[in-house]
Amino acid sequence: MNWVGLIIDIIGSCLLLYSVILLFTYIGIGLFSIVSVKEYLDKNSFADYRVLAVSPEAPTMSILAPAYNEATTIVENVRSLLSIHYNNLEVIIINDGSKDDSLQKLIEHYNLRKIDFFVNEQIPAKKVRGVYKSTNPVYKKLVVIDKENGGKADALNVGI
């Protein structure tokens, strides 16, 4: 019985030591990250990113957002993406063969019209049914792609 108590005490001591070492490691990592973030902010305090975001010289950025049966939230989600303050932004919504009226809601709310568009099929994906752009200049950054259902990865491949 004495050996069992000794083994339990040794295991308990090892677990306590491990916990203390882990605690101090996390505290050290936390302090290091606070110092690193402060240095980063001090180094970049001169940059006004709002000016960079509205500059016509900023690189073009595309946001790909697959959508499948999201009729209840699709209009609000797209509005949120379009509200990003970046000059050279393109928001590409890929309707992944929705069975509800997701596409119809987008067409009605954003005044979308089907356009002729060459689809580069270098990446294998399901068939594209159509590409839509808005006739309203307020939504000129919006592109909607309608395709057959193939899953989220397939939708992103089409968007690329």
Same domain as 56, residue 42: no
Number of domains in the chain: 2
Residue 62: Cβ within 10 Å count: 13
d(CA 153, CA 75): 22
Q: Answer yes or no: are the C-beta atoms of 85 and 56 closer than 8 Å.
A: no
Q: What is the pLDDT of residue 15?
A: 97
Does this model's pTM top 0.85? My answer is no
Q: What is the pLDDT of residue 1?
A: 60
Low-confidence ranges of the chain (pLDDT < 70): 1
Same domain as 129, residue 62: yes
Same domain as 151, residue 85: yes
Same domain as 108, residue 60: yes
The answer for 112, left when phi > 0, alpha when psi is -120 to 50, beta otherwise, is: beta
